[in-house]
């Protein structure tokens, strides 16, 4: 099943802890199973998003980097 | 005395409701200690943890409103606030303070690197539902009144409430 990305967050330029804080807040508005795509430029966001996903149970579906821009796709966990 | 073994009835054991909690005891009032305190608290809340900051001793001064200059009732408390201005926009560094030049440069660097200031993080913490609890005893000792402190704080409390809230969770003393 291919869930659609329902939200895009551009968090380029922001430093720790804002990328996680803003993503967590935005994801509260999503329904379970919905996807959010986040782009950030903070290199620390790579381990942070992985850890946040593991700690909160919201799966990190995709994670890649290109030209200093880090892209993450997170799925809102099922209740 | 006799012991009678009764047949066990299958009662579903209640799942221990261990709440994922983070409690930070903010003892220090300097910029370079309040900053990570607020970074960790907002991150904890973003991770879904029930997060509390218990502000005590020097940690209480960043909660003073930025436009409140002198606090306290007697000369000692007033002198204390003279020497140690409250407010999250008047914080000093633990090292390289240089009569305020250090914090000013730190603020400049933070803006350049888009790092949220303690003031912004305090607002984010409130927005995320972080419990901000001032220590009643320190307020009395230092002569700080509720009206001297910023809005959005919880009722001042004591060590027992702080420890009871922290029980079973992650605790940090900064």
Annotate chain A with DSSP letters as a single string: --PPEEEEEEETT--TTHHHHHHHHHHTTSPTT-EEEEEE--TTHHHHHHHHHHHH---EEEEEEETTEEEEEEEPPP-
Distance between CA atoms of residues B30 and B17, nearest Å: 36
Contacts of B159 (CB under 8 A, 6+ apart): B135, B137
CB of A14 within 8 Å of any CB in chain B?
A: yes
Establish whether A10 is a catalytic residue: no
What's the count of helices (H) and strands (E) in chain B, helices before strands? 6, 4
Check if A50 contacts B (Cβ < 8 Å): no
Total domains in chain B come to: 1
Q: How confident is the model over B49-65, as pLDDT tens digits?
A: 999 999 999 999 999 99
Q: Residue B166 pLDDT more than 60?
A: yes
- Out of 3.90.550.10, 1.10.1060.10, 3.40.50.720, 3.30.110.40, the CATH code matching A5-75 is 3.30.110.40
Q: Given A16, A23, A24, which is nearest B39 (Cβ)?
A: A16
User: B95-141, pLDDT tens digit by residue?
Assistant: 888 888 889 888 888 888 888 999 999 999 999 999 999 999 999 99
For residue B161, give its domain range: 21-173
In-domain check, residue B2: no
Here the tokens at position B9 are 């009835």
Look at residue B18 and tell me whether its pLDDT is greater than 70. Answer: no
Q: What is the CATH number of the domain that holds B42?
A: 3.40.1260.10
How is chain A split into domains, by residue range?
A: 5-75
Q: Is residue B79 part of a domain?
A: yes
Contacting B residues, span 30-59, partner chain A, CB-CB under 8 Å: 39, 42-43, 45-48
Contact with chain B for residue A45, Cβ under 8 A = no
The residue of chain A with its CA nearest to that of B45 is: A21
Contacts of A13 in chain B (CB under 8 A): 114
Residues A11-24 pLDDT 10s: 999 999 999 999 99
Residue contacts between A and B (CB atoms, under 8 Å): 40
Average pLDDT, chain B: 89
């Amino acid at each position: 099943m291919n869930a659609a990305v329902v939200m895009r967050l551009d968090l380029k330029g922001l430093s720790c802890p804002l990328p996680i804080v803003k993503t967590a807040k935005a994801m509260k508005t999503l329904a379970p199973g919905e996807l959010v795509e986040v782009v950030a430029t903070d290199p620390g966001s790579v381990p942070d998003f992985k850890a946040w996903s593991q700690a909160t149970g919201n799966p990190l579906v995709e994670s890649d980097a290109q030209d200093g821009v880090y892209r993450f796709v997170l799925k809102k966990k099922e209740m | 005395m006799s012991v009678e073994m009764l047949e066990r009835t299958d009662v579903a054991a209640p799942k221990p409701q261990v709440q994922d909690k983070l409690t930070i005891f903010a003892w220090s009032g300097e910029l370079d200690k309040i900053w990570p305190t607020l970074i960790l608290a907002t991150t904890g809340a973003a991770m879904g943890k029930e997060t509390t900051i218990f502000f005590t001793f020097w940690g209480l001064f960043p909660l003073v409103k930025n436009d409140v200059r002198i606090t306290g009732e007697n000369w000692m408390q007033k002198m204390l606030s003279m020497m140690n201005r409250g407010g999250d926009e008047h914080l000093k560094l633990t090292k390289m303070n240089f009569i305020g030049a250090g914090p000013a440069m730190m603020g400049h660097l933070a803006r350049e690197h888009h790092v949220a200031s303690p003031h912004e993080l305090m607002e984010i913490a409130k927005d995320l539902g972080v419990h901000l609890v001032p220590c009643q005893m320190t307020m009395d000792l230092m002569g700080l009144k509720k009206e001297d402190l910023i809005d959005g704080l919880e009722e001042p409390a004591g060590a027992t409430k702080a420890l009871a809230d922290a029980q079973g969770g992650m605790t940090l003393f900064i």
